[in-house]
């Protein structure tokens, strides 16, 4: 290959590399990966947090939980080197959840890393919550995340996605799907089983009482 062509090819490759790499870095952001999304169900939400700085580590992640459709139960999976605090707050307005009126609910989860456990350059971490029950089908759950770096900067992943265009700092979000009929069927089956067991126990108790009463009558006779 002539030297001029080799130079042109090398320049083109470098140009493509410089074009692609920033786009790849910009596409990395905090995501939520739900175990399931069935309305009324319980699920584990996994927040995948990449570190986007070469000269700083991620030391804290704060998640803002929804208040219009609150999650009444929030539990944290322990992670070595990290502490997690679930904070509650009064809701802007009372909300009905499964027939109960809720005025207070978990509103924020604060994950804090020790220096040894902070997320370094080229690394990511997964933070997990068990939540439930999920709201009605079609509800968009937007859970803004705030990522704090060791250099003091904070990146707010809090922009909802509308349409096909993803914003610069998209918030983690998921859409609730239809309720799982299999889960409802399992619940009905379990109730039927317990009622059946209860009936057998009552019948057995009545039989024992009848036998004892009969024997006492015979002894008196």
The residue whose two tokens read 């290959």 is 1
Other Cβ atoms within 10 Å of 145 Cβ, number: 25
Q: What mean pLDDT is predicted for residues 152-165? A: 93
What CATH class has 29-179? mainly beta
Judge whether 161 and 173 are in contact, CB under 8 Å: yes
pLDDT level of residue 219 (50, 70, 90 thresholds): low
Domain locations along the chain: 29-179, 180-221
pLDDT digits (tens, 9 = 90+) for 40-96: 999 999 999 999 999 999 999 999 999 999 999 999 999 999 999 999 999 999 999
Q: Please give the C-alpha separations between residue 221 and each of 208, 211, 215, 217, in angstroms, as whole numbers.
A: 20, 15, 10, 6
Highest mean pLDDT, choosing among 33-42, 194-203, 209-218: 33-42
For every residue of 62-122, DSSP letters joined together read: EEE--SSS--SEEEE---TTEEEEEEEEEEEEEEEETTEEEEEEEEEEEEEE-GGGSB-TT
Mean residue pLDDT across the chain: 83
pLDDT level of residue 181 (50, 70, 90 thresholds): confident
Spatial CA neighbour of 80 closest among 53, 111, 39: 111
Q: Which letter, b or e, does each residue of 156-172 get, where b requires 16 or more Cβ atoms within 10 Å of its Cβ?
A: ebbeeeeeeeeeeebbb
pTM as predicted: 0.72
């Amino acid at each position: 290959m002539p030297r001029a062509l080799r130079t042109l090819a090398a320049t083109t490759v470098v140009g493509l590399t410089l074009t692609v790499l920033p786009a790849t870095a910009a596409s990395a952001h905090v995501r939520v990966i739900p175990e399931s999304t069935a309305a009324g169900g319980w699920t584990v939400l996994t927040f995948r947090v990449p570190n986007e700085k070469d000269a700083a580590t991620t030391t804290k992640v704060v998640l803002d939980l929804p208040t219009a459709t609150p999650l009444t139960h929030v539990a944290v999976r322990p992670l070595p080197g990290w502490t997690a605090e679930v904070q509650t707050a009064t809701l802007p307005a009372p909300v009905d959840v499964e027939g109960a009126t809720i005025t207070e609910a978990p509103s924020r989860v604060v994950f804090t890393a020790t220096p040894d456990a902070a997320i370094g350059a080229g690394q990511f971490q997964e933070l997990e919550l068990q939540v439930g029950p999920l709201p009605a089908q079609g509800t968009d759950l937007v859970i803004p995340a705030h990522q704090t770096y060791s250099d003091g900067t904070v990146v707010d992943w809090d922009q909802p996605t509308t349409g096909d265009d993803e914003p610069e700092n998209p918030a983690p979000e998921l859409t609730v799907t239809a309720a799982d009929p299999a889960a409802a069927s399992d619940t009905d089956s379990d109730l039927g089983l317990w009622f059946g067991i209860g009936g057998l126990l009552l019948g057995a108790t009545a039989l024992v009482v009848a036998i004892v009463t009969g024997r006492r009558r015979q002894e008196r006779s």
